[in-house]
Structure 1
Amino acid sequence: MAEPPAAAPRTRLSREARNAQLLDVAEGLFAERGFEGTSMEDVARAAGVTRPVIYSHYASKDEVFLACVRRARGELEAGIREPEIMIEAGASVEIVMERAGEVFFSLLERDPRRWMVLFNPSIALSAELSERLVAMRRHTIARIAEMLGHFSAGDEEANTAFAYAVSGVGEQLGRWWLANPNIPKARLIAYYRDFITGGLTAWQAAAPD
């Protein structure tokens, strides 16, 4: 009788590669089941490792989720740099907001799971985790407010308020697109651009001299 073929040797991942794999797996689970519906055991099983391997990277589920969000927000903020450069070069608000929409919705198009984790609506988060996520979001909002300052005569408070509105427009349009994927991305970007530039124009017109 012929000998059965030898099992292929298992490839041992570097710590960096293993960490990336764990985040990819956790990201998918969080997007599918939500934060409260995902356990460390789920992550370990889906990644094909034991729980001690997970705990050698992250001390808790909160830390895993935080790392997933930090990675997604880092990708989003890296994309913000291009509109910032366009502003520095003197581009109009319409052109800048169209490019910002392209950056934002391309992230959703490329990886819906990552976008869903980034804009996770769960209320089952610990107070500490919520605070850390809010701090990251505020950092992004501050960069948007700084960009808006180039197009408005508003003070810091007004620019920050409008930056939150800009962020909300993008998030809600993104949720709408997820529910209606037949809508062309170009049309979504046009809505985003027009809503924001229209609002900014009206805001500027209403500002006291």
Structure 2
Amino acid sequence: MSTPRRRLTKEQRRGQLLDTAESLFSEVGYEPTTMEDIARAAGVTRAVVYAHFDSKEQVLRSGVERAQAELEARLTDLTAPAAAGLPLPEILERGGDIFFSLLENTPSRWALMFAPALAGPGRTADHFTALRRATIMRIADIGEHMQSSVSSEQIEAVAYMISGVGEQLGRWWLNHPDVPRATVVSHYRDFILHGIAPLTEAR
């Protein structure tokens, strides 16, 4: 007698569909993948997919939103240590470990974040730009909590640089998965510290 299949909750099904879509977008590409492909790979009907998402574009947006929300929630843990005076190198190392651990655990999700499809014109691209800026401002907020004589303008500029270093190093790591995460985090910390050395001297 076969064991009855456990029925997923609405949130569990939505998460499963996003996981499936992320894998397909990463392996096959966003443009070639269809809603039928997502349904088939998830083992459900197309109607089930459409019950959760109006379009493939909405699937893409929802996946990126999920990744950004997870990263920002984890970055919030750095606010208290920054305000308590934790040295900048340690703040950067903790922040780098947060980001790269997420990338290591869900590489297809972050490969999707770096995909060229996100850079194209239109409302979806604008939405992704807004999401990225929200994350950058979360980084800037951590910087504002540090005891520093650096101006808010400089902090925001540095936050953009930190985000850019993380994204580009993440792209590189996805192509060199044999490199240990600790090594990548060290690269991240050292690259940023070298780039903002003039600012750290003002602290």
Q: Same fold (TM over 0.5)?
A: yes
Deviation, 1:33, is 2.2
> 1:105 corresponds to which residue?
100
* Percentage of matched positions with identical amino acids: 47
1:38 pairs with one of 17, 33, 52: 33
The structure-2 alpha-carbon separation of the partners of 1:142 and 1:168, relative to structure 1 and needing over 3 Å to count, comes to: same
Deviation, 1:56, is 0.9
> 2:44 corresponds to which residue?
49
- 8 A contact 1:35–1:124 mirrored in 2: no
The structure-2 alpha-carbon separation of the partners of 1:196 and 1:179, relative to structure 1 and needing over 3 Å to count, comes to: same
Does 1:190 find its partner at 2:192? no
Distance 2:180 2:84 in 1: 29
1:203 pairs with one of 184, 199, 202: 199
- SS of aligned partner of 1:36: coil
> 2:117 corresponds to which residue?
122
- The 10-residue stretch of structure 1 (147-156 or 16-25) with the greater mean CA deviation from structure 2: 147-156
> 2:174 corresponds to which residue?
178
Q: Structure 1 stretches of 5 or more lacking a match?
A: 1-5
The structure-2 alpha-carbon separation of the partners of 1:124 and 1:50, relative to structure 1 and needing over 3 Å to count, comes to: farther
Q: CA RMSD in A?
A: 2.2
The residue type equivalent to 2:155 in the other structure is N
- SS of aligned partner of 1:91: coil
Give the number of equivalent residue pairs.
202
> 2:155 corresponds to which residue?
159
TM-score by length of 2: 0.89
1:12-91 mapped onto 2 (5 Å cutoff) = 12-91=7-86
Deviation, 1:25, is 0.6
- 8 A contact 2:82–2:143 mirrored in 1: no
The residue type equivalent to 2:142 in the other structure is M
TM-score by length of 1: 0.87
1:133 pairs with one of 121, 128, 133: 128
Q: Structure 2 stretches of 5 or more lacking a match?
A: none
* Higher-Rg member (1/2): 1
